[in-house]
């Protein structure tokens, strides 16, 4: 692969890469074999899947034979306006397709659509830098099955503390990535179809719990969105921003905005477009995404 064109010439073929796998949520390292799922014009569905390629190093811009331009440049203006892409380990992609066919009976195209949804909705907003949040709950339900496939049945019989120590020392191995993907396949099917609800009608929501709506016109003026490693996990309506206490969280990030700057919410996934948000680059649409909720704040 060679740099044969400038980023400004690429248009929709500009591919902003993120060093995180949309299937297993683990890091992607330089030269690992990956592919990318390309979103449509409004990033609501997967439009196409690229051929496999080698993940480039940071601050590189490379054109591949398919015509796509791989970009890892910091502050690239073309990345900000390019369609949304989800980068996936090639191994994880094939495991995901197989698992979801076995569990849900999905054909390849349906499984790819599911992968696009799960991968893109891990991001708190389009083109977001990784938040590097710590996993609070590691799902090891698929450990016995994967250990059997890898001919390591003894591993599944070890105490949990030892398993977690081994995992910590070999976190990025395919074995653990496979467990993460199979855990995804064990979760309930995503809701269809999506439905939009005005944000001023939403009182609260927490992942895994019903959406709480209200018809009362007088609602708290703020919305607080909590994000974990899987995306948006909670939406609250406080009367005022929570005072800073100095407490830190390794697995959570919080965003607060006035509801007056928001428009609507879509049940199914979560996306937020704030007009202004401290610490984030102004002028770029921001989307908070995750299963069971979709917030939209107009930029």
Domain coordinates of the chain in residue numbers?
A: 1-190, 195-296
pTM, two decimal places: 0.77
**What pLDDT is stored for residue 16 in this prediction?**
86
- Find the angle CA(289)-CA(112)-CA(94) to the nearest 5 degrees: 115
Flag whether pLDDT at 162 surpasses 60: yes
Mean pLDDT of the region 177-203: 74
Where helices occur in 68-107 by DSSP H, the ranges are: 77-81, 90-104
CA atoms within 13 A on the CB side of 104: 20
How do residues 236-278 score in pLDDT, each as one tens digit?
A: 888 888 888 888 888 898 888 777 655 445 444 555 544 333 3
């Amino acid at each position: 692969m060679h740099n044969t064109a400038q980023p400004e010439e690429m248009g929709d073929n500009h591919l902003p890469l993120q060093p995180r796998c949309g299937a297993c949520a683990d890091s992607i390292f330089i030269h690992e074999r990956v592919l990318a799922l390309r979103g449509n014009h409004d990033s609501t569905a997967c439009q196409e899947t690229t051929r496999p390629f080698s993940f480039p190093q940071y601050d590189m811009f490379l054109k591949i034979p398919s015509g796509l331009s791989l970009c890892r440049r910091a502050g690239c203006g073309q990345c900000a306006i390019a369609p949304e892409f989800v980068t996936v380990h090639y191994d994880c992609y094939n495991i995901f397709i197989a698992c979801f066919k076995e569990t849900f009976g999905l054909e390849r195209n349906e499984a790819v659509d599911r992968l696009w949804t799960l991968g893109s909705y891990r991001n708190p907003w389009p083109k977001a830098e990784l938040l590097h949040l710590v996993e609070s709950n590691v799902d090891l339900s698929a450990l016995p099955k994967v250990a059997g496939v890898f001919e390591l049945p003894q591993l599944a019989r070890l105490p949990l503390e030892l398993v977690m120590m081994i995992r910590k020392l070999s976190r990025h191995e395919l074995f653990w990535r496979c467990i993460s993907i199979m855990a995804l396949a064990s979760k309930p099917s995503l809701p269809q179809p999506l439905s939009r609800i005005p944000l001023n009608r939403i009182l609260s929501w927490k992942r895994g719990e019903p959406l709480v709506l209200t018809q009362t016109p007088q609602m708290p003026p703020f919305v607080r969105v909590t994000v974990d490693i899987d995306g948006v996990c909670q939406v609250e309506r406080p009367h005022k921003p929570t005072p800073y206490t100095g407490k830190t969280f390794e697995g959570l990030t919080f965003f607060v905005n006035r509801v007056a700057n928001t428009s609507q919410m879509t049940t199914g996934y979560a996306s937020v477009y704030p007009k202004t948000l401290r610490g984030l680059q102004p002028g770029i649409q921001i989307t908070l995404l995750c299963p069971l909720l979709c917030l939209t704040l107009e930029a």
